[in-house]
Amino acid sequence: MLTNRGESETLGTFFKFSERRTNLSTEVVAGLTTFMTMAYIIFVNPAILATEGTGLSVPGVFFATCVAAAVASIAMGLVANFPLALASGLGLNAIVAFTLILGLGLSWQQAMAVVVVEGVLVTVLVLTNLREAVLDAIPLSLKFAIAVGIGLFIAFIGLKNAGLVVPNSETYLALGDLTQGPVLLAAFGLVATLVLVARGLRGAIIIGIFITGIVGMVFGVVPLPQGIVDFDFDTSTIGGGVLAVGQVLQLSLLPVIFALFMTDFFDTMGTMFAVAEEGKLIDEEEGKVPQAKRILLVDSLAAILGGSMGASSVTSYIESGSGVAEGGRTGMTSVVVGLLFLLALPFSPLISVFGGSLPIPDPTGGNDPLFISPVTAPALIVVGFLMMTTARLIPWDHFDEAIPAFLTILTLPLTFNISYGIGFGFISYVLIKLSRGRAGEVHPLLYGAAVLFALAFVWPALQGLLS
């Protein structure tokens, strides 16, 4: 039987702690930080997928979300040794609920089957090395721009989740209402976390989350947990997507499958590179992410897993950057996240205190309140700042590189979609290189990707003309 020291050394050898200049305690803190910043999906995913009329139940989706995220994150850690956690993708779950089920009238089983089919397609591209080849075809300037754009995207999500930025009918966005308790709590949490980070305190982000949550409970802004454990699990969604695959293999669903495919294909590549850049895990000479094929394979299989479990497509989470910011450098971080998702199953009352949402009045005058996550939102804003530092690596004095990078950074957060930002970058890069007579500097696969993005952007217009 190994001693604690022996167990630590064994884990260190497997996950290459020394090579990546980390240790077990750092990886555990990083995993806990990542989990806390993405734990909201445990509650948001059931809220979206179990919308009235979908036929899915909140307890069923809750169980599926936790288990699918746990299996996928642990697999990422063990197979790819990369600090990237996975869970049901926001946006993807909205497509499943509102487009496939409520829009097209598919059953929830058929909608999940569409996710399974899309995951199989992406897996085939990984196994044939095409997905990795596309990643290698992206120029370094765009890779850095994607990392910066995602940093802004994360910060924007954090500001939105904090209630510090709210919708406005005249100016699109406006400053939130600082008289509201949850918004004030988020502002306090942001200041506290920034102070801790600025002082160089190890574990500053996770400490900031706990301080914010405790202060929220003390002042009655965050509700006290209603109990400790709940073992009433609902497994009704498991397997439904697999059984309905034969029912969705039809031409009429190709546009939706393509939309899911494009989002999944490029979101993960951007997320993977951003996390690798934050953790200094990129090969400096070739600009490649180590074990990229394994990372992409786990991610594509996770999409199949999510559809099979009834949790929507499971994908890589950019919130993983929060754990990397705390020093996470190996797959042990992902394993810790996966284990925490499993532990969350019976402890949902406690998780809801830190990862749950609180209502504030709709500033546009609507009857429905806005829901924000003031405890974890500050962490996302801080992570966005940390990822912004990559901007210094973009060659701003070379316009044919800098302009596509700028468009990527600008459109990625403002369209609220990683794939759209990447699409604008690809298309502008190709067009500018062609306009300057430098067609040979563009990788052939980048031409193909730019064409696909262009088709995706104009597809709604083409549908209108054809109809």
Per the domain annotation, does 35 fall within a domain? Answer: yes
pLDDT, tens digit (0-9, with 9 covering 90-100), for 387-410: 787 788 899 999 999 999 999 999
Identify whether residues 407 and 258 lie together within a single domain.
no
pLDDT(31) > 70: yes
Q: How confident is the model at residue 382 (pLDDT cuts 50, 70, 90)?
A: confident
Asked whether residue 275 falls in the same domain as residue 418, the answer is no
The pLDDT tens digits for 264-294 are 777 787 788 888 888 888 876 666 788 889 9
Q: What is the structure's pLDDT at 245?
A: 93
Q: Is residue 345 part of a domain?
A: yes
Among 330, 355, 380, residue at a domain's last position: 355
In a domain, 439, yes or no: yes
Q: Other CB atoms closer than 10 Å to residue 377's CB: what's the count?
A: 29
Span 45-53, mean pLDDT?
Answer: 81
Q: What is the mean pLDDT of residues 125-152?
A: 85
Q: Is the pLDDT of residue 3 over 70?
A: no
Is pTM beyond 0.85? Reply is: no
347: in domain: yes
- pLDDT tens digits, one per residue of 341-351: 999 899 867 66
Co-location of 322 and 430 in the same domain? no
Residue 30 has pLDDT above 70, yes or no: yes
Amino acid 1: pLDDT? 39
Task: Answer whether residue 376 shows pLDDT above 70.
Answer: yes
Task: Please report which confidence band the pLDDT of residue 426 belongs to, taking 50, 70 and 90 as the band edges.
Answer: very high
Whether 173 is covered by a domain: the verdict is: no
Q: Is the pLDDT of residue 159 over 60?
A: yes
Provide the pLDDT for residue 216. 94
Could you tell me if 336 and 409 lie in one domain? no
Q: Interior CA angle at 450 toward 446 and 454, to 5°? A: 170
Query: Domain range spanning residue 328?
Result: 20-155+225-355
Mean pLDDT of 182-195: 95
Is residue 39 one of the residues assigned to a domain? yes
Among 326, 355, 384, which residue terminates a domain?
A: 355
What number is the average pLDDT over the span 153-180? 90
Q: Residues 345, 426: one domain?
A: no
What's the total number of domains in the chain?
A: 2
8 pLDDT tier (thresholds 50, 70, 90): low
Say which residue, 349 or 454, is predicted with more confidence.
454
- pLDDT, position 51: 76
Average pLDDT of span 434-453: 90
pLDDT of amino acid 2: 43
Question: Is pLDDT at 91 greater than 70 in this prediction?
Answer: no
> Residue 117: which pLDDT band, with cuts at 50, 70 and 90?
very high
pLDDT (tens digit per residue) in 191-247? 999 999 899 876 788 788 889 989 999 999 988 877 778 788 889 999 989 999 999
What confidence score (pLDDT) does residue 355 get?
63
Ramachandran angles phi, psi of 167, nearest 5°: -70, 150
Q: Is residue 106 part of a domain?
A: yes
Residue at 183 is within a domain: no
Same structural domain for residues 42 and 116? yes
Q: What is the pLDDT of residue 4?
A: 56
Least confident range of 151-165, 363-377, 385-399: 363-377
Q: Are residues 235 and 315 in the same domain?
A: yes
On average, the pLDDT of the chain sits at: 87
In the listed set 332, 355, 378, which residue is the last one of a domain according to the structure? 355
Q: What is the mean pLDDT of the segment spanning 368-393?
A: 83
Angle between helices 254-278 and 130-137 (to 10 degrees): 60
pLDDT for 10 beyond 60: yes
- Tell me: do 288 and 418 sit in the same domain: no
Q: Is the pLDDT of residue 418 over 90?
A: no
